[in-house]
Amino acid sequence: MEVREGPMLATVVPLLNEGKHVGPLLRSLLAQTLAPALHTVVLVDGGSTDNTLDAIETVLADWSNPQPTVHVLHNPDRTVAHARNMALAMLPPSVEFVVELLGHATIEPTHLEQRMTAWRTAEQQSEGPLAGVGCKVEGLEGDQGRVAGWVDAALASPLGQSDGQFSRFTEPGPTKVPAFVTHRRSALEAVGGWDTALLTSQDSDLSMRLLKAGYALHRVPSPTVRMARRTTLGKWWKMGHRYGFWRTKVVLRHPSRLRWVEWLPWVGVLATAVAYGAGSPLWWLGGALYAAVLFAEGLRNARSGASFLLGVPFCLMMLHASFSVGLIDGFLRRGRPASDR
């Protein structure tokens, strides 16, 4: 029997000012039931100015059980794409699989073992060479604050879901846009890794290029990745705008990524404007129906707390507005690094 020399799996975590979350994430990675010799952790810091690096040192100093090798790299280019490419270039030859995570996520102790089980199952079902298997994403457990609760409920709503990171799918199977993917390393290298010109949506672009190269992508509802939600309305707006902005950039490269439903808010605005300009007495009807649907979502979530009655509709309206503005902005500007995570 051939003896493996080195880990088979690497978890890569880009970081930037994640001092609040990186400790729990790192502890969850060190506590994996997958044998420590079989996986390694690569933390790539983009120049954090908070206590991110101190938090990492504290966890490593306090951890007494056997642990996987942990590498801490400095990423002068700061972006997620640069971080992942840097990690990919330094991994030992034994690494066959690369797991995507972010600094504000956390996982269960069996997570990596479940990923490998999911990979074997997907590979048996795949109609082409398998390049990646994504996970389901949910919010952190426990009380994360009022706004974070509204945001989590908004993302769980049919009005706030997408087919990508925030999809609440329940069945495993093929997909175009998996989230937090386990990638086959050879597939990543075959397409040149992540495109560093994209400051957000680099994962969507990578998936499109893998599909064009003849690879298959799958996703599974278990294991899950739990991710911290935005805790202020300002950060929520910035997130929506950024996702819309870079969605346009990806669609310009990969037209098949276009989703007509994402343009419905603009269709509604234009239809209302045309009706008003034409003097229609019912020009307000579309807006009224939209408000009624939002209010119905608020009622549906009110059992989680009285503030959800208005908080969830407001977050949904902000998401639709910020994403829609971002879609148009993506045609107008080149883009710059985000001011939030």
71 & 129 share domain: yes
> CB-side exposure of 228: number of CA atoms within 13 Å?
19
Residue 69 lies in a domain: yes
Rounded mean pLDDT of 315-324?
97
Q: Do the domain assignments include residue 241?
A: no
Same domain, 203 and 80: yes
165 and 38, same structural domain? Answer: yes
Is the confidence at residue 150, as pLDDT, over 90?
yes
Q: pTM here?
A: 0.91
User: For residue 1, is pLDDT > 60?
Assistant: no
Indicate whether 341 belongs to any domain: no
Point out the least confidently predicted range of 149-158, 308-317, 322-331.
149-158
Domain boundary among 217, 232, 247: 232
What's the confidence (pLDDT) of residue 162? 74
Q: Would you call 338 helix, strand, or coil by DSSP?
A: coil
pLDDT value at residue 340: 53
Mean pLDDT of 32-38: 96
Is the pLDDT confidence value at 100 over 90?
Answer: yes
pLDDT value of residue 141 = 74
Q: Is the CB of residue 200 less than 8 Å from the CB of residue 338?
A: yes
**Distance (Å, whole) CA 151 – CA 308:** 10
Mean per-residue pLDDT, 41-65? 95
CB atoms within 10 A of CB 120: 10
Mean pLDDT of the region 336-341: 60
Judge whether 237 lies within some domain. Answer: no
Q: What whole-number distance in Å separates Cα of residue 218 and Cα of residue 213?
A: 15
Q: Are residues 21 and 86 in the same domain?
A: yes
The HSE-up count of residue 153 (CA atoms within 13 Å, CB side) is 28
Task: Encode burial over 189-225: b for 16+ CB neighbours within 10 A, e otherwise.
Answer: ebbebbbeebbbbbbbbbbbbbbeeebbbbbbeebbb
CA gap 211, 190 in Å, rounded: 12
* Residues 47 and 73: beta-carbon distance below 8 Å: no
Comparing C-alpha atoms, which of 246, 279, 296, 244 is closest to residue 265? 244
Does 224 share its domain with 264?
no
26 half-sphere exposure, CB direction, 13 A CA radius = 28
pLDDT tens per residue across span 220-241: 999 999 988 888 999 999 999 9
Q: What confidence category does residue 3 fall into, taking pLDDT thresholds of 50, 70 and 90?
A: very low
Asked whether the predicted pLDDT for residue 341 surpasses 90, the reply is: no
- Provide the Cα torsion 114, 116, 121, 124; round to 10°: 180
Kindly tell me if the per-residue pLDDT of 72 is higher than 90: yes
Q: Which of 198, 232, 266 is the last residue of a domain?
A: 232
Is pLDDT at 62 greater than 90 in this prediction? yes
Residue 339: per-residue pLDDT: 55
CATH code, domain carrying 128: 3.90.550.10
In order, the DSSP letters of 270-332 are: HHHHHHHHTT-TTTTHHHHHHHHHHHHHHHHHGGG-TTHHHHHHHHHHHHHHHHHHHHHHHHH
**Using one digit for the tens of pLDDT, what is the confidence trace for 168-182?**
788 999 999 999 999
Residues 130 and 80 in one domain: yes
pLDDT, residue 2, reads 47
Question: Is residue 86 included in any domain, yes or no?
Answer: yes
Report the C-alpha dihedral over residues 240, 135, 39, 83, rounded to 10 degrees.
-20
- Count CB atoms within 10 A of the CB of residue 2: 4
Report the pLDDT averaged over residues 294-319.
95
C-alpha pair distances (Å), 258 with each of 18, 204, 216, 250, 261: 32, 12, 19, 9, 9
CA distances (Å), origin 32, targets 15, 35, 38, 106, 111:
20, 8, 11, 12, 7
How far is the C-alpha of 45 from the C-alpha of 30, rounded, in Å? 18
217 and 281 inside one domain: no
Q: Is pLDDT at 142 greater than 90 in this prediction? A: no
Residue 4 has pLDDT above 60, yes or no: no
Query: Using CA atoms, how far apart are residues 35 and 197, in angstroms rounded to an integer?
Result: 36
Listing DSSP states for 150-201 in one string gives HHHHHHHSTTT--SSTT----S-EE-SS-EEEEEEHHHHHHTTS--TT-SS-
Provide the number of structural domains found in the chain: 2
What pLDDT, on the 0 to 100 scale, is given for residue 338? 63
Closest alpha carbon to 243 in 183, 166, 132: 166
Say if residue 110 is in the same domain as residue 41: yes
Residue 337 has pLDDT above 90, yes or no: no
Residues 226 and 273 in one domain: no
As a whole number, mean pLDDT of residues 140-165 equals 84
Among 197, 232, 267, identify where a domain stops: 232
- Considering the domain boundaries, does residue 3 fall inside one? no
pLDDT band at 120 (very low <50, low <70, confident <90, very high): very high
Q: Are residues 225 and 281 in the same domain?
A: no
**CA separation for the pair 193, 48 (Å, rounded):** 24
228 shares a domain with 296: no
Any domain includes 73: yes
Q: Average pLDDT of 148-172?
A: 85
Which amino acid is located at 76 in the chain? P
Q: Are 199 and 247 in contact (CB under 8 A)?
A: no
Whole-number mean pLDDT of the chain?
93
d(CA 87, CA 101): 13
Which domain range does residue 294 map to? 255-332
Q: Is the domain of 187 the same as that of 325?
A: no
In a domain, residue 180? The reply is yes
